[in-house]
Structure formats: structure tokens, C-alpha cells
Structure 1
Amino acid sequence: MQNNSNYKIDWKNIFSFIYETGKITDLNNYSYYFLQKLNKLIPFYAANFFLFDENEEIIESPVCLNVNNQALNAYNSYYYQIDAIREIAFNQIEPSRSTDLMDYKKWVKTEYFTDFLKKNNLYYSCGIDIHHQERLLGTISLFRDKNDNDFSLKDLLYLKLISQQCSNQLNKLFIINNLERKIQKNRHGLLEKAGQKFQLTEREKELLKLLIEGKNNQEIAQDLFISINTVKKHLSHIFNKTEVKNRTELVSLIYKVR
């Protein structure tokens, strides 16, 4: 990137963006809210945010703003193979924009541009890949249509400035998500062992699972579509089978099952 010393940086909005996105604690919601808040800092017509696992495989469906599922499916099934920008800029450290990477006089005549980008009003683009150390975590792509101005070097600078915070937050959320999966897997194993040892019914195991997750009787009743009295009856049966007196003793016992 060129020297950006002549740009007047809107630090107030950048710090606000970093603060707001830093409060997002759910990996599944991070991409969507990140793009929504980014649109106030860098205006765009459309955008997508891909997340990647350790093998650089896309995790589930990417979050897209103003890009419909039909266009996304078309890209994933075919157009990614002829996406020249992806070939040049994928998994790079620095942000980039299409007008620096491509000769537009030639590019606008290509199949990828005419049949995909132009059809979906995606004329200008810029983006950045998010890394933590050497691992690729995500790819952010922003688009503007032909009637908008091209992305500026200031926009690229903003992407660069927020990328480190995005890297740290995404890495933290990936770690939390992996831990939650391991805990969930461990809980499933404990419930199966407890079910066998204490001869619990399927309904009792369902209730026990929700109880271990910290839900109260009202929440358990809502999740299982049963009355609170029915919840209490099931709990009473579980207490009798496990020979405990309360929920605390029950949870402690379940985590000790071998």
C-alpha cells in the first residue's frame, strides 16, 4: 500500500468499530454483525465474509449481504474456478482492490465479469484476508456497483487497521467454539454412561442434559414442551434412581460417572 500519511483517519469511528465488534461473543453471529458495522465505516453495496477451518476449508455457509443464495451457489459451483482476483489475492496479508489487480478494459469482457459480477451489480471490489499467525481465519470481500465510486486507498487502510483486532477476536472465538464442542461431546458421553448406569429413560436423559446446561424448571418445560409439574415428576424419578437429594448433588454425581 502507498504512504497513507496524507489521509485524515476517523479514529473515533475506528475505535468504536473495534469496541463494538470486540463485544461479539458468538462465532456464528460474528461475521454478520461485523459486516453490518463495517458498512458504517466503509460504505459498500454488497459483501461476504468466509470463515475457514484449520485445513482452509470453508466453514458452513458464508455470511453475505446483498448477495442472494442463487448467486452464492453459482459462485461455489462454478465461478470460483475462473475468479482471477481469487487466484491473485487469496490468502494474502495486505488488503487489495480489484482496480489495482485487474486491467478493467480486458477484465469486463471476461466470462466471470459479464456472467457473474455484472449480473449481480458487483463492479468494484476490495478485501482482506484475516490471519492469526500463519493460519487463515477468514476472507472479507466488499463490493460497489458501477454507479458508485471505486474503493479508495483510505478504505484499504481502514481494512488494514481493523484486521488485527478482527484476527484476535476471531481466534478467540474459534478457541471458545472448539472448547464448547469438546465440552458438548464430553457431556454426551457422560449422559450415555449415566443413562446406562442408572437406567434412565430417553426423556429423563433429555431432561438431565438440559439440567446440566444450567436450565431451570421453566426453561426445561419450554424446551421439552411439557408442564413444570411433569418436569418435577421426572426430576423426582431421576433423584430416586441416582439416590441424590437435589440438583447440585445430581450434577456432581453425573460428572463423576465412570
Structure 2
Amino acid sequence: MQNNSNYKIDWENIFEFIYETGKITNLNNYSYYFLQKLNELIPFYAANFFLFDENEEIVNSPVCFNVSEQNLTAYNNYYYKIDSIREIAFNKIEPSRSSDLMDYTKWVNTEYFTDFLGKNHLYYSCGIDIHHQKRLLGTISLFRDQNDNDFSLKDLLYLKLISQQCSNQLNKLIIINNLEIKIQKNRSQVLDNTSHKFQLTEREKEVLKLLIEGKNNQEIAQNLFISINTVKKHLSHIFNKTEVNSRTELVSLIFRH
């Protein structure tokens, strides 16, 4: 990327962006909120944010702005094969923009451009891949219409400046998400084992599931649309079957086994 030392950086907005996106604690919400805040820093017409696993396979559906499900499907089914920008810029450390990578006098006549990008007002593009210790975590692509200005070198600089914070936050959220998945799998296994061993009914199993998630009687009642007295009756039956006298003893018993 060229030297951007002559650009006046809006540090106040950059710090606000880093602060706001750093508050996100849920991986599923991060990509959407990131693009939402990024649009205030770098205006765009459309955008997408892909997440990748350890094998660089796409995780779930990407978050998209002004990119329809139909267009996303079309890209995944065919157009990614002839996406020449992807071939050049995918999994790189530095941000890039299409006007630096492609000769537009030739590129606008290619199948990929005329049948996909041009039809969807995706004339200019820029983006950056997010890495953490050489592992690819995500890729962010921004698009503007032909009637807009091209992305500037200052825009690329902004992407570079926020990429490290994005890397740290995304890595943290991925670790937390993976841990939560493991915990959920462990809870499900514990629940199945306990239900089978003590011959719990389906309703008692539902009550036990909410109990080990930390729900109190009122929350269990609200989740199952039953009265608190009914919850207490189910808990009493569970206590009798497992031969314990309290929630603490019950949780200790089922996780010990």
C-alpha cells in the first residue's frame, strides 16, 4: 500500500469504531455490527463479511449489506470460480482495491463483471482479510456503484488501522463461541445420561435442562409456560428419583457422573 502519511486521519472516529465494536460479546452479532459501524467510517453501497474455520472453509452464511440471498447463491455456485480479484487478493495481509488490481478497460468486458458485478451495482470494491497469527479468520469486502467515487487510499489505510483490533476481537469471540459449543455439547450429554439413568420423563428432562443452565423456578415456568407450583412438583420428582435434597446436590451429582 502506498504511503498515506499525508492523509489527515480522523482518529476520534477510528477510536469510537474500535470502542464500539470491541463491546460486542457475541460472535453471531459481530459481523453485522462491524459492517454497520464501518459504513460510518468508510461509506459503501454493499458489503459482505465472511468468517472462516481452521481449514479456511466458510463458517455459516456471510453477513451481507445490499447483497441478496439469490446473488450470494449465484456467487457460491458459479461466479467465485471466475472471480479474478479473489484469485489475486484472497488471503493477503494488506488491504486492496479493485482499481489497483484490475485493468478496468478490459475487466468490465469479462463475464464476471458484466453478468454479476455490473448488474448488481458492484463497480468499485476494496477489502481486507483478517488474520490472527497467520490464521485466516475473515474477509471483508466493500463495494460502491459506478456513480460513486472509487475507494481512496485513505479508505485502505482505515481498513489497515482497524484490522488489528478486528483480529483480536474476532479471535476472542471465536474462542468463546467454541467453548460455549463444547459446554453445550457436554450439557446435552450429561442431560441425556441423567435422564436415562434415573428414568426422567420428557417434562422432567426439560425442567432439568433449564435448571443446569442456571434458570430459577420463575424462569423455568416462563420458558415452559407452566406455573411455578408445577415446576416445584417436577423438581420434587427429580429430587426423589436422584435421591438428592437440593439443586446444588443435584448439579453436583449429574456432573460428577
Q: Settle same-fold status: TM greater than 0.5.
A: yes
Secondary structure of 1:136's match?
strand
Q: Distance in 2 between matches of 1:77 and 1:161?
A: 33
- Structure 1 range deviating more: 155-164 or 189-198: 189-198
Residue 63 of structure 1, CA deviation: 0.3
Aligned to 1:169: 169
Aligned to 1:154: 154
Matched, 1:35 2:35: yes
Report how many aligned residue pairs link the two structures.
Answer: 257
Amino acid in structure 2 at the alignment position of 1:98 = S
Amino acid in structure 1 at the alignment position of 2:213 = E
Question: Deviations along 1:119-164, whole A, 9 cap, x unmatched?
Answer: 1111100000000011100000000101110000000000000000
Gaps of 5+ in 2: none
Poorly superposed stretches of 4+, deviation over 3 Å:
none
Matched, 1:179 2:196: no
Aligned to 1:9: 9
Aligned to 1:188: 188
Q: Distance in 1 between matches of 2:235 and 2:98?
A: 61
Aligned to 1:210: 210
Q: Distance in 1 between matches of 2:217 and 2:119?
A: 53
- Superposition RMSD on alpha carbons, in Å? 1.0
Aligned to 1:62: 62
Q: Distance in 2 between matches of 1:66 and 1:217?
A: 44
Amino acid in structure 1 at the alignment position of 2:17 = F
Residue 60 of structure 1, CA deviation: 0.8
Aligned to 2:50: 50
Residue 245 of structure 1, CA deviation: 2.0
Q: Distance in 2 between matches of 1:248 and 1:168?
A: 37
Gaps of 5+ in 1: none
Residue 186 of structure 1, CA deviation: 1.2
Matches within 5 A, 1:1-258: 1-257=1-257
Amino acid in structure 2 at the alignment position of 1:228 = I
Q: Distance in 1 between matches of 2:85 and 2:216?
A: 52
Amino acid in structure 1 at the alignment position of 2:107 = W
Q: Distance in 2 between matches of 1:43 and 1:137?
A: 23
Residue 197 of structure 1, CA deviation: 2.2
TM-score normalised to structure 1 length: 0.97
TM-score normalised to structure 2 length: 0.97
